[in-house]
Structure 1
């Protein structure tokens, strides 16, 4: 899909879901990594992450478009268009837009959700500290009793 097809898609979704015309520019931006799209308050343009379309399909991408159109239409009407505003939340719910986009494979957001692979265990009191990354137990002490720590590698996700 190219930018012209995206432009037509955004215009169609705007008319069908909001009953209002989208009169600005919608483009793909492949440099977006941690977000599905963004709305620019100065130019009123919308950018959509093409990786979301490739990874999760048309349905999820349309929810992202609706999310960005909520920002667009509320901002142009002078109403609360930010994520924290109640008007934004209500309109997003009415049109069926997504509050958050799914994490793309290989991104930092996805890496944060990796299971714990290591555990530091205090030799004195038994306090346990789960870790996603391997750490040197000699550099740290127990936060509870200041005892020495032992590093244990976990077999499966806990």
Structure 2
């Protein structure tokens, strides 16, 4: 899917709202470049849907449409005063009725989730960690050898 401007984005969201929910989308939808781990979010206090532009660039159109439908479920339930949060039965039911995804797929550009790689000096076992480990305090779980930070 190619680049999309704010006007075309609003038209797409309104079109999906009419098609799947039978109601127009009358509030604001924007791209938010700061979204990292999610495809989009609905802000109830401002009645704004924010979408991650990376999903337009890196994923198929069907994935992006799924994210919009998911956020529209939050939006329409909130306006109607029904349960619009992820744990609410009304929300889960509307997701099923509209064929909206519960979660979005991770972006291909996101790495495999670890920042640090530790290797045992003795047996060469590898340990992938998101957080730093104190190598003077911890040892290899397989052989008891010293571990070293690699990346």
State the TM-score, normalizing by the size of structure 2: 0.77
| CA spacing shift, 1:65–1:151, aligned 2, 3 Å | same
Which residue is equivalent to 1:76? 79
Unaligned regions of 5+ residues in structure 1, if any? Answer: 124-128, 153-158
User: Kindly tell me: are residues 141 and 51 of structure 1, through their superposed partners in 2, closer, same or farther at Cα, counting changes over 3 Å?
Assistant: closer
| 2:108 pairs with 1:111 | no
- Following TM superposition, the consecutive aligned residue runs of length 4 or more in structure 1 with deviations greater than 3 angstroms are 116-121, 133-137, 140-144
Please identify the structure whose Cα radius of gyration is greater: 1
Match of 1:13 in 2: 16
Is the contact made by 1:67 and 1:92 (CA closer than 8 Å) also made in structure 2?
Answer: yes
Distance 2:83 2:140 in 1: 45
Is 2:114–2:128's contact at 8 Å kept on the other side of the alignment?
no
User: RMSD of the TM alignment (CA)?
Assistant: 3.1
TM-score (norm: length of structure 1): 0.74
Q: Hey, what's the Cα distance between the residues in 1 that align with 2:88 and 2:114?
A: 28
Following TM superposition, by how much is the alpha carbon of 1:85 offset from its aligned partner in structure 2, in angstroms? 0.8
Aligned length: 142
More helix by share: 1
Does residue 31 (structure 1) correspond to residue 47 (structure 2)? The answer is no
Which segments of 5 or more consecutive residues in structure 2 lack a partner in the other structure?
Answer: none
